[in-house]
Structure 1
Amino acid sequence: MTLEWLSVGLEVAAIHIAGIFAAGHAIMNTRTSQGAIAWAVALVAVPYVTLIPYLFLGRTHFAGYVDEATFDIARRSARNVSANEPVLLSFREQHHPAMDPSLHRYRAVEKLVGHTFVAGNDLRLLKDGEATFSAILDAIATARDYILIQFFVVRSDRLGMALQAALLARAADGVKVYFLYDGIGSHSLDRGYIDALRLGGVEIHAFSIRRFRNRFQLNFRNHRKIVVVDGRQAFVGGHNVGVEYLGEKPPLAPWRDTHVAIRGPVIGQIQRTFSEDWYWVTQQLPAVRPAMEQAGDMLCLGLASGPADAQETCSLFFVQAIHAARRRVWLASPYFVPDSAVSAALRLAVLRGVDVRVLVPSRPDHLTVFQASLFHTYEAVHAGVKVYRYQPGFMHQKVMLIDDDTASVGSANLDNRSFRLNFELNVLTVSPSFASQVEAMLLVDFAHATQVAAEEFAGLTRLRKVAMHVARLFAPIL
């Protein structure tokens, strides 16, 4: 009996020692002080409960991702060109409108992402799933050389099968098709769906955690949504591949989302983002061509972000864009769990007299995130931010409008997962005409929403308040 108790005591001691070491690791490696404190306290106090979750969720740095210099060397080697050739995939200075005064507000964003705005683009809003996937499938049908396609969620339902058929038809005609899907986001994707594409000539791979240092992580998901056809057409936004994105899956239907159709040189930056992801997965490069075609007069910047970045690109982008606003900041996001920097930027914008509005869903798709969003909603409303709950169905778009000339559409949500844990892609556009399109779209959305009143919080039950405060403690991993 004594030996049994001794064995139990040693096991308990070992778990606590492991918890202490893990807490030290969290303190040294977690990006935010809030996250570091939360993990450290939990690992020391209740290591029996938190050690395993920390193994899968604790890291906030993605190890071993594509190094910029290594990628450029590989690209040049693949194309057998000299090191002095301009970086055609990123178009760093070739179309840079250096004298345009409207871009001065965003110079810090350019330095942050390592790319400059490029001129000569045309963007078209695609509202909701039918418009988005109709445009994508039409573009795929015109492909002659190659298709790049990447989604976080791919399902083998009616929409997924339509996409599969379109890709197989182009592959049968000799078009190169490169397909990335996220291994966790698409965990339910049928193996037969993948095999059929592969047998039909499509190069398809899961974005997964290959390196040992990332081995156990459920974080670091590739949340990007990218389609590029022949370097001439591209699509970026919030939709994934599934019938719920067409509004055909209760109880969240109808589904409200936004994508954007793109033509012009900024496609080069989008292609580079896809190529870096493809290189990480395959150690090879897709055969793409420079997107040199001028298509309009819009200034655009492809804003890729992720946990491998030296700085917190996504969070800093939102902070700088909000600070740049002089008249309005309108945001739409399905998850409103901003970090302290973005929250402070929104409060300061209100104090400057800026019209700050946030559009969020009125119903949850993830209960814990929804409860945390409620906490931040109430905090924002008390600070003077106007928050609106979209009523007709689930609102999933990721859109930002700054003043009368700047808009962003992409995959990044207003939460820590997009800020620090996911690979994301937004397209930032400086164009009064495109901003006008976004304004008209959001005005319709606000007309279908109800504004959250500060008085609403006083009527909440004690249990609801406790649930909100507990949920917000999980913000670093939501």
Structure 2
Amino acid sequence: MSLFFGIVYLLNFITILTILFVERKKQSVAFTWILIMTFLPVVGFVLYPFIGRNLRPNQKKLFKLKRKFDILYKERLQQRNLLSTEDTISYLRENSHCYEGIISMNYKAGNSVYSEDNNIDIFTCGVDKFHSLLKDIENAKETIHMLYYIINNDDIGCKVVSALTKKAKEGVEVRLLYDHVGSILTPQKMFKELIRAGGNVCRFFPLSLGTYTRINYRNHRKIVVIDGKIGYIGGMNIGDEYLGLNKKLSPWRDTHLRITGTSVYAMQERFLMDWYYASNAKEDTDAAALNKFFHPSNPMEILACKFFLVVLM
């Protein structure tokens, strides 16, 4: 036991030197970790690799890429006249004053904009959600973008991947992004046929032996955008438990939305930011190249007085 504590103290001492001279954290943060490692050595030894370390250099590079897309996102909103203006704020005060505070907060914090031209289907049952999703995938013509925290290697997971593979073979651009921690038990071979068919598959912040990725830097979003026109967002991941088929976890109550309208634009933008951020893709990322992923709204499809706020932070 004394040998164990000796090793822990030695590693903690090396870590403290790293904090002071390599990572150069803020004084308050550095002082906190030094206290923990000095007086609670085992706790500090266990916690620091997961929640204390700075991001590795290549991950910092990805965050720089994300900031680039944040700027591009704002520019595109300005081009499409979707950013809040004085007229918009005035309208909200007169017609939606009870929502003004939360709309303003989400806009300032995450560039989340409001829109009034959305058609929304609400799913509280996984059976209905996946029936609708698989049908929309089957009817896709150009692109399918899918991001989930969890994709299980079970019946519904295999059905979704099979549907994506079929569309990739037909020439539809398929991009699938999933979180490595959330889907840690999902084998990569599950996506082998999809990749062979021309689909693009990427894990968010993949873990590897000898390296640590801070456990709080995970991607919990569940976003699907089909042809830039149909969006899915909500709380349901991809797993049999959402269909009542997992005896240990079912019945599972969650909510998911199917959206058409301007809000899909923000969902597409967010997916692309996460995709390029996680995959470090070499594809062209200028505004002209990204235009193919966005479809202008048809005025005849606008449904007046339908209000929806997309928060994708």
Give the TM-score normalised by the residue count of structure 1: 0.52
> In structure 1, what residue type is equivalent to 2:307?
L
The 2-side partners of 1:183 and 1:124 are apart by 29
The 8 Å contact of residues 226 and 236 in structure 1, kept in 2 or not, is answered as: yes
Of residues 7, 13, 17 in structure 2, which corresponds to 1:17?
13
| Aligned equivalent of 1:100 | 92
| Secondary structure in 2 matching 1:270 | helix
Q: Using the alignment, how far apart are the partners of 1:85 and 1:109 within structure 2?
A: 15
1:233 alignment partner in structure 2: 230
1:298–1:8 Cα change, 3 Å: closer
Aligned residue type for 1:190: P
Aligned to 2:293: 288
- Supply the distance in 1 between the matched residues of 2:24 and 2:248 (Cα, whole angstroms): 38
Distance 2:12 2:147 in 1: 42
Residues 175, 105 of structure 1: CA spacing in aligned structure 2 closer, same or farther, 3 A cutoff? same
Q: Which amino acid aligns with 1:92?
A: L
User: Could you tell me whether the CA contact under 8 Å between 1:266 and 1:291 is conserved in 2?
Assistant: no
Question: Superposition pairs for residues 66-85 of structure 1, below 5 Å?
Answer: 66=64, 70-71=68-69
Q: For residues 135 and 29 of structure 1, what CA distance do their matches in structure 2 show?
A: 52
Post-superposition shift, 1:162?
0.8
The percentage of aligned residue pairs carrying the same residue is: 25
Deviation at 1:117, TM superposition (A): 1.2
- How far is the alpha carbon of 1:275 from its aligned partner? 0.5
Closer, same or farther in 2 for the Cα pair 1:209/1:21, shift >3 Å? farther
Q: Structure 1: which 5+ runs fail to align? A: 76-82, 306-478
Residue matched to 2:124: 127
Name the residue aligned to 2:312: 304
Q: 3-state DSSP class of the match of 2:176? A: strand
Amino acid at match of 1:195: K
Contact kept, 8 Å, 2:229 with 2:295, in 1: the verdict is no
CA shift for structure 1 position 237: 0.6
Change (3 A) 1:60 1:73: closer
Give the partner amino acid of 2:268.
Answer: Q
- In the alignment, which residue of structure 2 is the partner of 1:111? 108
* Aligned counterpart, 1:250: 247
Matches for 1:198-209 after TM superposition, within 5 Å: 198-208=195-205
Q: Which residue of 2 aligns with 1:268?
A: 265
Cα distance, 1:58 vs structure 2: 2.5
Selected match of 1:50 from 40, 44, 51: 44
SS in 1 for 2:118: strand
TM-score (norm 2): 0.76
Q: In structure 2, how many angstroms separate the alpha carbons of the residues matched to 1:29 and 1:160? A: 46
Task: Give the whole-Å Cα distance in 2 for the aligned partners of 1:152 and 1:279.
Answer: 17
Task: Give the conservation status (yes or no) of the 8 Å contact 1:232–1:291.
Answer: no
Higher strand share: 1
Q: How many angstroms apart in 2 are the aligned matches of 1:140 and 1:279?
A: 22
Structure 1 residue 67: Cα displacement: 5.2
Superposition RMSD in Å: 3.7
Count of residues in correspondence between the two structures: 284
Amino acid aligned to 1:180: L
CA contact (8 A) 1:97 1:117 kept: no
Counterpart AA for 1:109? N
Matched, 1:28 2:20: no
Seen in structure 2, the aligned counterparts of structure 1 residues 87 and 199 have a Cα distance that, compared at 3 Å, is farther
2:147 to 150, 153, 177: 150
What 5-or-longer segments of structure 2 have no aligned partner?
none
- Please say if residues 225 and 237 of structure 1, whose CA atoms lie closer than 8 Å, have aligned partners that are also in contact: yes
**Residue 172 of structure 1, CA deviation:** 1.8
Amino acid at match of 2:92: D
1:169 is aligned to 166
Q: Is the 8 A contact 1:140 1:167 kept in 2?
A: yes
- Tell me the CA shift for residue 139 of structure 1: 1.1
Change (3 A) 1:291 1:21: farther
Cα offset, 1:174, TM superposition: 1.4
Distance 1:30 1:201 in 2: 49
Which amino acid in structure 2 is aligned with residue 240 of structure 1? N
The structure with more helix, counted as a fraction of residues? 2
Secondary structure of the equivalent of 1:255?
A: coil
